[in-house]
Structure 1
Amino acid sequence: MEELNKISYLDYNATTPIDPRVFKAMLPFLKDNFANPSSTHHFGQSINGKVKQAREQIADFINAESNELIFTSGATEAINIAIKGIAESYSNKGKHIITLSTEHKAVLDTCKDLERKGFEVTYLPVQPNGLIDLVELKQVIRPDTILVSVMYINNETGVIQPIKEIATLTHQNGALFITDATQAVGKIEIDVDALGIDLLCFSGHKMYAPKGIGALYVRNKTKLTPQTHGGGHEQGLRSGTLNVPGIIALAKACEIASEEMALNQRKISALRDKLETEFLELPNTSLIGDLENRIFNTTNICFKGQDANVLIGRMKNIAVSNGSACSSAVIEPSHVLKAMGLNDDDAFASLRFSLGKYNTIEDIETVVNKIKELTQPNFKYA
């Protein structure tokens, strides 16, 4: 964590540092315990036993059965496997899919690809606070709708969607429900059974595990057409040698999150509230999203008249974001903020602050003081 101490890192929604306990747990599987879990010899089967144990632990974390969990390289791959797999498996019932205009690009781009293959996709708008309009969802869902896809917690605004209500409405109309829970797993308790979720995707690197490991929950009896072939791993849905160190790390991250979730919520929300209070006292600032239905670690603030990219570039040793890390190389206004009704100038003037368990009050003070300095009317760039 030495490098992290050199910067004020408020970009945890993009990625998190590996928890030292997670790193310690995965290290033996990078070195000595290297056998392929698919091998039939004793060494391989001993590693397979560890994978099974980890699978059970991760599944239990979201109240799923172990055979309902498919390991992937991350949420993006899980989303592709799920949405495309459902589309192919249920195309005889219909070719209509519903999603939100504020979804992650992994969902939106996958849906665009399916449109090119003859599927019809409805991209529902959201309300100004970023929440879905359930009445509108009820109006657009049809007998030929096969899938509704809604992100659990938005990565840019932290808005939490009413997942249980969406799932209930979806099922009442004979469709399946999938949620991208990348920003939810590890932060809040999730019970896929109680919520009525059919498919759920998440990534390890958003919850203090390494990059390159994720999972897809698929409720039993849900049919998916495989998108990759070559060995029949993961019940034939994700062929390829398992990332054993990543799987062990993800299980450990789930264990730690289960033990520390309440503590993290209290600590991080207090820091987030402090940050907001300081910024919203400034003129021409406003909070984007919903004050009630949001995650405790995220705030998106518009600094009207500013250029977020310029601010980020002027903040040495400070890490914040102007949108999703997965599309940050594209110089265009956030599609999420635009969908919520912001104009281009205000979207370009907005910064996302996403906090994590290693943040301190000193981080908050450093970021607040620097942005106040950069946004004062008489500030002159060197």
Structure 2
Amino acid sequence: MLYLDNAATTPVRREVLEAMAPYLTGEFGNPSSRHTYGERAAAALEQARERIAPLLGMRRRDIVFTSGGTEANNLAVKGIAIAAQQTRGSRHVIVSAIEHESVLASADYLQRVHGFEMTRLPVDGAGRVDPSELAGAIRDDTALVSIALANNEIGTVQDIAALRRAAEHVPLHTDAVQAAGWLPLDDLGVDALTVAGHKLGAPKGTGLLAVRGRVPIEPLVHGGGQERGRRSGTESVAGAVALATAMELAEAERVANAARVAALRDELVERVLAEVPSARLTGHPRERLPGTASFTFEGTSGEAVLLELERRGIVCSSGSACAAGSSDPSHVLLAVGVPAEVALTGVRLSLSQTHREGLGPVAEAIAASVAAVRGL
């Protein structure tokens, strides 16, 4: 099988397993315990923070370890907004129409439970937010702007620098889950940033929210006051070490990997568009993640095409793994102007940072799978 669903999850890297193994065995202490075992665990946890912080342009104290991207996005959107409501009376949040479900659901929660108003910024046909639209949406009571650096379904990369300027004084959070390992994250100028370890070779259940110290944040999980009171619960030391190791490896290899994989992606896109009738590339044609190629195939069913591809030894997806089981068309494809019936034909192929093989056979398999579904 050829696995092309790396935007959903990636295999754990051998170096990451080796780095975290001691903290699953002999170094098993609770980092909150005041004895030798606990002190060694606490030291490893802080070292992981120190290793991660410069990769994000943040300070060590800004790093909050979480169980993954969804929790980190919830903490960012709810935590920053509720703190602003409590301190300044803010009651307005801004998100884009193509955010991950964890951001949209968190903003919806703020509306339903805390009386916030939400603005969903539209995107253009390539999936990009117009900075002038953001500037026009900012209000005196805006608590937070949350716009992903790169979209998880179509791969479009936002101009975060322009959006940062448009947001002015309002805290800006970016979901960088898909961008980590592909794009530089240390000079974005954002106030809060989300990373999930399992997208770049760390285990599932590892992640972080980096939030600058000047930004007040209300914790969502209460208890013993771990993570400087921002996220209670005994930390996963092994998970933090794994995440730090995976992020360091990804950054060291990022430039070379991104250039190589982007060339493979471009070859795949060119062949699919040439060989598959009615194939359409979704997302921005240039400002997109190096490893993501997403298409619609009008006159098919995306799920049926996926089954045909798996029969031919290729595993990919129809969109966000976090929306698995839904029969509704992708909200991302709808937002970029794809008709509902065509949105149901979407297929996403996502390469890993270590992918090296040519994708000519994949294009051939796509053409054959689409033809089979259309009954040609």
Q: What range is the shorter-chain TM-score in?
A: over 0.9
Identity %: 39
The alpha carbon displacement at 1:67 in A equals: 0.3
The alpha carbon displacement at 1:379 in A equals: 6.8
Q: Secondary structure at the match of 2:231?
A: coil
Partner amino acid, structure 2, of 1:205: H
2:149 paired with 1:183: no
Q: Secondary structure at the match of 1:299?
A: strand
- Aligned match of 2:126 in 105, 126, 129? 129
What's the counterpart of residue 348 of structure 1? 344
2:86 paired with 1:93: no
Q: Say if 2:148 and 2:174, in contact at 8 Å, map to a contact too.
A: yes
Q: Say if 1:278 and 1:368, in contact at 8 Å, map to a contact too.
A: yes
What's the counterpart of residue 336 of structure 1? 332
Q: Say if 1:8 and 1:366, in contact at 8 Å, map to a contact too.
A: no
What's the counterpart of residue 136 of structure 2? 139
- Aligned match of 1:47 in 41, 48, 60? 41
Residues 277-303 of structure 1, C-alpha deviations (whole Å, 9 max, x = no match): 110102211211112211111111121
- Aligned match of 2:322 in 317, 321, 326? 326
What's the counterpart of residue 117 of structure 2? 120
What's the counterpart of residue 359 of structure 1? 355
TM-score (norm 1): 0.93
Which piece of structure 1 moves more, 222-231 or 371-380? 371-380
Stretches of 4+ aligned residues off by more than 6 angstroms: none
Distance 1:44 1:377, change over 3 A: closer
The alpha carbon displacement at 1:218 in A equals: 0.8
What's the counterpart of residue 4 of structure 1? none
Q: Secondary structure at the match of 1:190?
A: coil
Residues 67-108 of structure 1, C-alpha deviations (whole Å, 9 max, x = no match): 000000011101111111112211133201111110000000
Q: Secondary structure at the match of 1:215?
A: strand
The alpha carbon displacement at 1:114 in A equals: 0.8
Distance 2:112 2:103 in 1: 15
Residues 130-167 of structure 1, C-alpha deviations (whole Å, 9 max, x = no match): 10022222222111111111010000111011111111
2:73 paired with 1:79: yes
Residues 336-360 of structure 1, C-alpha deviations (whole Å, 9 max, x = no match): 0000000012111121111113434
Q: Secondary structure at the match of 1:90?
A: helix
2:263 paired with 1:266: no
Partner amino acid, structure 2, of 1:140: A
Q: Secondary structure at the match of 2:79?
A: helix
2:369 paired with 1:374: yes
Residues 320-379 of structure 1, C-alpha deviations (whole Å, 9 max, x = no match): 1111000021011100000000001211112111111343426x2442222211223797
2:234 paired with 1:249: no
Aligned residues: 370
What's the counterpart of residue 166 of structure 1? 163
Partner amino acid, structure 1, of 2:222: H
2:104 paired with 1:111: no
Partner amino acid, structure 2, of 1:274: E
Distance 2:69 2:370 in 1: 36
- Aligned match of 1:8 in 2, 6, 13? 2
What's the counterpart of residue 3 of structure 1? none
Q: Say if 1:154 and 1:160, in contact at 8 Å, map to a contact too.
A: yes
Q: How does 1:211-230 map to 2 (within 5 A)?
A: 211-230=204-223
Partner amino acid, structure 2, of 1:373: A
Q: Say if 2:304 and 2:373, in contact at 8 Å, map to a contact too.
A: no
Q: Say if 1:203 and 1:213, in contact at 8 Å, map to a contact too.
A: yes
* Gap runs ≥5 in structure 1: 1-6
Q: Root-mean-square deviation (CA), in Å?
A: 1.6
What's the counterpart of residue 303 of structure 1? 297
What's the counterpart of residue 205 of structure 1? 198
What's the counterpart of residue 268 of structure 2? 275
